[in-house]
């Protein structure tokens, strides 16, 4: 890094002094805080994004959003070349940049990191960063700070993609780096055409009970804007969008996070919607849950969460693979035994895990966090992951997709109209409809709707796949959460010694009991999760383990 570049960095950094007494931490969701204190952090993430682009010799994404947080908050996160989250190896550098006390300290950190990572400024492709923001009022000024950070690296280009959903920006980064068309129009076109393809491949005689209107709660966020655009071009689905942001407040009494946690109707829904198929997005449209309004229930709902969405997707894919494998068993040429896997965290309801295993699916657990789920799902030919909160997607390996393309061509010439060809075409359509970069409420919504029509299922039939076990989550304030060390995807405590054995003794007292504790990633608390066959038992187990945790660790 030459002296001119260093001078530019020092001058521009001086215009973005950090807030005093605030410590920032980059997690799965990037940096999030009250919007008024974020300008310097977003500027510095702009620098990081430009350096990441030079290092990877690829286009990087920078999204300004705080997802399901309150409208007064905002945040910033990076999309890596494949559209996935920022590499975990760069997270400590992100933390250091955000918390650097002054321009000189900031420059020193950058110089040390550039040397350590061997980032070459000469002879390679210049940095290019795609920028996006959600509908928050603070987004525009923070976007300018990001641009200043990116442009402080000589030759770096910032491309403003406008107001987009978080998953759209991730998709655009992935498509750009694959050399594909990557505009918002291209995103809409791929979603609509692949949805249409799945509807065209619905078996004859499938009695869909989903012809009635579906209602979508758009959380007064960016997803509502995009659904209104899609609605003009999509056929085969009758839906109404509510909470579009024209009147209500972003994420206030609306959205997937509110619906999933509170299990009540979002604002704008009433007894007039009893029994109807309803869906909720979150503020930046990367989470999706479904629900039905219960009769005479003062706003209570029947929730269909991310675990049920995962189950629906996994069953459909397994069915298509089974059809293809029938042909494999007949010793056809070019057979391929695809490895399908389902990835969950310990927070997935035990009933869902049991159901998936009984359905013959391979289930693996990872620590909590989308980055861990995504990484594990990539180990399979087809990896499906979802969290109960409604964030998840399906990953297809390039090897499997290449084989599928060849298989479709073969079947198209030798077995036109066959069930094997239809199954292969459905899987290809799913790979295009689902956003393989990141969880995407819009693509997930249309995939759910296509599969329900394929199966001929109502939301009630779908929800009857299994009954969730009653559960309870608590948190215990502690002096030092790092004293809790876990293993086996956070389901067992290895330190402090003795606590896991005590948890096991308590859990054994309850039918279908399951309980684990884990340190929070953001607060000085230990989180407790418990399940049992009855709600009172789950409550009692959670309470008992919370007291036990307090005894071992000492309250705050």
Contact (CB, 8 A) for 180 and 188: no
Taking phi over 0 as left and psi of -120 to 50 as alpha, with beta for the rest, 179 belongs to left
Q: Scan for tokens 């479904």, then name that residue.
A: 290
Q: How far apart (Å, rounded) are the C-alpha atoms in residues 287 and 219?
A: 11
What letters, b where the CB count within 10 A reaches 16 and e where it falls short, cover 437-455? Answer: bbbbbbbbbbbbbbbbbbb
28 known member of a binding site: no
Strand ranges (E), 410-511:
471-477, 485-487, 492-495
67 known member of a binding site: yes
The CA-atom distances, in angstroms, between 221 and each of 61, 66, 267 are 20, 11, 14
520 known member of a binding site: yes
367 known member of a binding site: no
Question: What own/partner pairs with CB < 8 Å and gap ≥ 24 does 329-337 have?
Answer: 333/410, 334/403, 334/406, 334/407, 334/410, 336/400, 336/403, 336/407
Write down the number of H helices and E strands in the chain: 18, 19
Q: 3-state class of 32 per DSSP?
A: strand
Q: What is the dihedral of CA 17, 23, 29, 33, to 10 degrees?
A: -70
96 known member of a binding site: no
522 known member of a binding site: yes
User: Judging by beta carbons within 10 Å of its beta carbon (0-12, 13-18, 19+), is residue 193 exposed, middle or buried?
Assistant: middle
286 known member of a binding site: yes
Q: Closest by alpha carbon to 98, among 47, 148, 154?
A: 47
The CA-atom distances, in angstroms, between 158 and each of 150, 152, 178 are 6, 11, 19
Instruction: Give yes or no for a cis peptide into 283 (omega within 30° of 0).
Output: no
Q: How far apart (Å, rounded) are the C-alpha atoms in residues 195 and 210?
A: 15
Paired strand residues for 527: 475, 518
521 known member of a binding site: yes
387 known member of a binding site: yes
**How far is the first Cα of the chain from the last one, in angstroms, to the nearest whole number?**
46
Selected catalytic residue, list 67, 311, 352, 471? 67
402 is catalytic: no
Paired strand residues for 281: 288
Q: Closest by alpha carbon to 355, among 291, 306, 290, 308?
A: 308
Contact (CB, 8 A) for 451 and 384: no
Q: Scan for tokens 């007949």, then name that residue.
A: 330
Q: DSSP assignment of 41-98, as one string?
A: HHHHHHHHHHHHHHHHTS-EEEEE--TTS-TTEEEEEEE-TTSSBPPGGGHHHHHHHH
Pick out the residues of the known binding site: 67, 282, 284, 286, 387-389, 518-522, 527
Pick out the residues of the known binding site for substrate: 387-389, 518-522, 527
| Residues carrying an active site annotation | 67
Pick out the residues of the known binding site for Mg(2+): 67, 282, 284, 286
């Amino acid at each position: 890094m030459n002296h001119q570049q260093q001078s530019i960095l020092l001058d521009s950094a001086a215009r973005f002094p950090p807030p005093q007494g605030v410590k920032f931490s980059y997690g799965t969701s990037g940096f999030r805080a009250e919007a008024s204190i974020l300008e310097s952090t977003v500027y510095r993430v702009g620098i990081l994004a430009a350096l990441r682009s030079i290092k990877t010799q690829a286009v990087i994404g920078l999204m300004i959003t705080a997802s399901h947080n309150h409208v007064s908050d905002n945040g910033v996160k990076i999309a890596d070349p494949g559209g996935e989250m920022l590499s975990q190896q760069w997270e400590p550098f992100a933390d250091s940049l955000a918390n650097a006390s002054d321009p000189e300290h900031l420059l020193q950190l950058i110089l040390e990191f550039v040397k350590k990572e061997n980032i070459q400024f000469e002879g390679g492709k210049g940095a290019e960063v795609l920028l996006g923001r959600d509908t928050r009022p603070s987004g525009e000024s923070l976007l300018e700070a990001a641009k200043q950070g990116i442009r402080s690296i000589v030759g770096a280009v910032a491309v403003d993609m406008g107001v987009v959903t978080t998953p759209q920006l991730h998709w655009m980064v992935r498509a750009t780096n694959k050399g594909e068309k990557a505009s918002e129009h291209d995103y809409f076109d791929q979603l609509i055409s692949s949805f249409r393809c799945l509807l065209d491949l619905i078996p004859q005689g499938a009695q869909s009970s989903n012809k009635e209107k579906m209602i979508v709660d758009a959380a007064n966020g960016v997803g509502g804007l995009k659904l209104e655009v899609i609605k003009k071009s999509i056929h085969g689905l009758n839906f109404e969008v509510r909470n579009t942001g024209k009147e209500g407040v972003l994420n206030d009494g609306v959205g997937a996070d509110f619906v999933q946690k509170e299990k009540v109707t979002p604002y704008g829904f009433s007894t007039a919607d009893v029994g109807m198929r309803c869906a909720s997005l979150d503020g930046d449209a990367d989470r999706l849950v479904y629900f039905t309004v219960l009769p005479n229930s003062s706003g209570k709902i029947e929730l269909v969460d991310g675990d049920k969405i995962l189950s629906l997707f996994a069953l459909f894919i397994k069915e298509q693979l089974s059809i293809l494998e029938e042909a494999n068993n007949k010793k056809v040429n070019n057979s391929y035994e695809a490895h399908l896997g389902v990835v969950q965290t310990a927070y997935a309801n035990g009933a869902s895990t049991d159901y998936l295993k009984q359905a013959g699916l391979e289930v693996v657990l990872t620590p909590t966090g989308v980055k861990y789920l995504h990484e594990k799902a990539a180990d399979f030919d087809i990896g499906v992951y979802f969290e109960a909160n409604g964030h998840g997607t399906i990953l297809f390996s390039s090897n499997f997709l290449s084989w599928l393309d060849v298989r479709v061509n073969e079947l198209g010439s030798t077995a036109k109209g066959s069930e094997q060809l239809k199954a292969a075409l459905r899987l290809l359509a799913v790979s295009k409809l689902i956003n393989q970069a990141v969880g995407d409420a819009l693509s997930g919504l249309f995939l759910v709707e296509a599969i329900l029509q394929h199966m001929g299922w109502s939301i009630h039939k779908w929800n009857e796949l299994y009954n969730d076990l009653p559960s309870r989550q608590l948190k215990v304030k502690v002096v030092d959460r790092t004293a809790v060390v876990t293993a086996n995807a956070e389901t067992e405590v290895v330190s402090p010694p003795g606590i896991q054995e005590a948890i096991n003794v308590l859990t054994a007292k309850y039918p279908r009991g399951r309980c684990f504790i884990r340190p929070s990633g953001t607060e000085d608390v230990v989180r407790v999760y418990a399940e049992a066959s009855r709600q009172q038992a789950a409550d009692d187990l959670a309470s008992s383990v919370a007291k036990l945790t307090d005894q071992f660790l000492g309250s705050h």
